[in-house]
């Protein structure tokens, strides 16, 4: 099967595309930036302009749970599976306006840049502690397992107000929920375990919300409760459901940004030295790492009503893959798009989406990733790749590493 430009319609999870998706995405974007893929039974949208348009197009829906439930109604599922689906259906990422605006209002101000900056000392402390633990007398460590994965999860737990003694269990639940949401579970037993983790996490967070209502502290939950909508325009169950999404989503995205960003810097010593010599440039560097090889490869959408995009007619009910990894290297929007340039400005990448669904946790992800990269480079001046191949996680949605051996 070929596109109009005679580019083969290939599976995006082929080993070659998992390791380096960009050559094929560039071919596809050049031949047909809006392409119907029989392999994926979906539209692959790879051009910058059509991807950006879809983020604000009323005919495009973010609801992925509704179509699934239309095929398998809740009453046909086990009680645990039905409850898990209902929780995920309340995640903002799966809800369209105006409901999306109502739900997002529960976090009014809680994710603002000023609120996020208050976490800077906590981030620095966590980075220093994990960097020291990663070194701990060893010359080689797995940057993913020992640094990139635990750091955002530790910060997210602390920011949400999870007590230190509960942090390890909270992180285990969040990891399993992420596997469920991102389709990484491999067996029926793993799927059942991940569903149970979601239900346990929901119950835990509901108890924590009620504790914070009675005794507020300096954390995300308390700040959101103080803003007022929870219990008024947003129910407690809706609020807790959104917290279950925040528990894994921010950690997963930021951990991938740190790990993949470090890999790309180590492969390009000139860019690594730019950041090492000027740590204050971290905000600009993070934006370029998001554009060049960001943690999210695509967003999944559904066509709600027929509309035209890039000269193609898209029909209601069809699936859309908004391939931001391709859009962020579109030469019609970026000069030298396949080059990593930590001084690139302006940088209108789509790594956090656009429009109503622009990533709520973007300020925290930027803070944690920037601090992690600069503080890690300061703590490990001899950081280098070992020569062992980095192992990539096969995922349609995420650009993530299973492991990254580095020499300290």
405 close to 386: Cβ distance less than 8 angstroms:
yes
- Report whether pLDDT(289) > 90: yes
> Dihedral of the CA atoms 182, 254, 348, 220 (nearest 10)?
100
pLDDT digits (tens, 9 = 90+) for 77-109: 788 888 998 899 889 999 999 999 999 999 887
**What does the pLDDT read at residue 134?**
65
**What does the pLDDT read at residue 364?**
87
pLDDT digits (tens, 9 = 90+) for 240-251: 999 999 998 878
The angle subtended at Cα 272 by Cα 270 and Cα 277, nearest 5°, is 95
Average pLDDT, the chain: 90
End-to-end alpha carbon distance in the chain: 47
Helices and strands in the chain: count of H runs, count of E runs: 18, 12
Q: Which residue carries 């980075």 as its tokens?
A: 127
- Report whether pLDDT(1) > 80: no
pLDDT band, residue 185 (cuts 50/70/90): low
Structural domains of the chain ordered from first start: 15-407 (1.10.630.10)
pLDDT band, residue 22 (cuts 50/70/90): very high
- Report whether pLDDT(292) > 60: yes
Cβ-based neighbours of 324, under 8 Å, separated by 6 or more? 51, 294, 296, 297, 298, 299, 349, 350, 351, 353
Both tokens of residue 123?
A: 């981030």
User: Quick check: helix, strand or coil at residue 374?
Assistant: helix
pLDDT digits (tens, 9 = 90+) for 140-161: 889 999 889 888 888 889 889 9
**What does the pLDDT read at residue 186?**
64
pLDDT band, residue 3 (cuts 50/70/90): low
pLDDT band, residue 190 (cuts 50/70/90): confident
**What does the pLDDT read at residue 131?**
72
**What does the pLDDT read at residue 120?**
79
């Amino acid at each position: 099967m070929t596109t109009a430009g005679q580019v083969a319609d290939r599976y995006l999870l082929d080993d070659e595309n998992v390791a380096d998706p960009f050559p094929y995405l560039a071919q596809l974007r050049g031949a047909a930036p809006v392409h119907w893929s029989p392999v994926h039974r979906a539209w692959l949208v790879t051009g910058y302009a059509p991807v950006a348009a879809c983020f604000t197009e009323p005919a495009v829906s973010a609801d992925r749970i509704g179509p699934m439930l239309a095929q398998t109604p809740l009453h046909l599922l086990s009680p645990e599976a039905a409850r898990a689906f209902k929780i995920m259906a309340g995640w903002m990422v799966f809800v369209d306006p105006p409901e999306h605006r109502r739900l997002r209002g529960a976090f009014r101000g809680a994710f603002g840049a000023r609120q996020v900056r208050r976490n800077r000392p906590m981030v620095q402390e966590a980075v220093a502690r994990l960097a020291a633990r990663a070194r701990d007398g060893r010359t080689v460590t797995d940057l993913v397992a020992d640094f990139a994965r635990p750091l955002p999860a530790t910060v997210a737990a602390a920011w949400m107000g999870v007590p230190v003694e509960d942090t390890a269990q909270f992180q285990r639940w969040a990891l399993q929920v992420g596997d469920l949401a991102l389709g990484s579970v491999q067996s029926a037993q793993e799927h059942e375990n991940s569903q149970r983790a979601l239900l346990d996490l929901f119950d835990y967070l509901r108890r924590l919300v009620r504790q914070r209502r009675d005794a507020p502290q300096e954390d995300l939950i308390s700040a959101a409760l103080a803003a007022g909508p929870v219990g008024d325009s947003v129910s407690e169950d809706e609020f807790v459901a959104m917290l279950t999404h925040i528990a894994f989503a921010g950690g997963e995205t930021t951990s991938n940004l740190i790990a993949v960003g470090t890999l790309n810097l180590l492969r390009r010593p000139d860019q690594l030295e730019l950041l090492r010599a000027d740590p204050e440039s971290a905000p600009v560097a993070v934006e370029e790492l998001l554009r060049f090889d960001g943690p999210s490869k695509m967003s999944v959408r559904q066509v709600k009503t027929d509309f035209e995009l890039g000269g193609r007619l898209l029909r209601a009910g069809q699936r859309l893959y908004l391939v931001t990894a391709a859009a962020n290297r579109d030469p019609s929007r970026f000069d030298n798009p396949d080059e990593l340039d930590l001084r690139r400005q302006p940088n209108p990448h789509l790594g956090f989406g656009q429009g109503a669904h622009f990533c709520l946790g973007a300020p925290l992800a930027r803070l944690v990733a920037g601090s992690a990269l600069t503080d890690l480079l300061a703590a490990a001046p001899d950081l280098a790749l070992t020569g062992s191949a980095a192992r990539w996680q096969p995922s349609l949605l995420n650009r993530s590493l299973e492991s990254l051996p580095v020499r300290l």
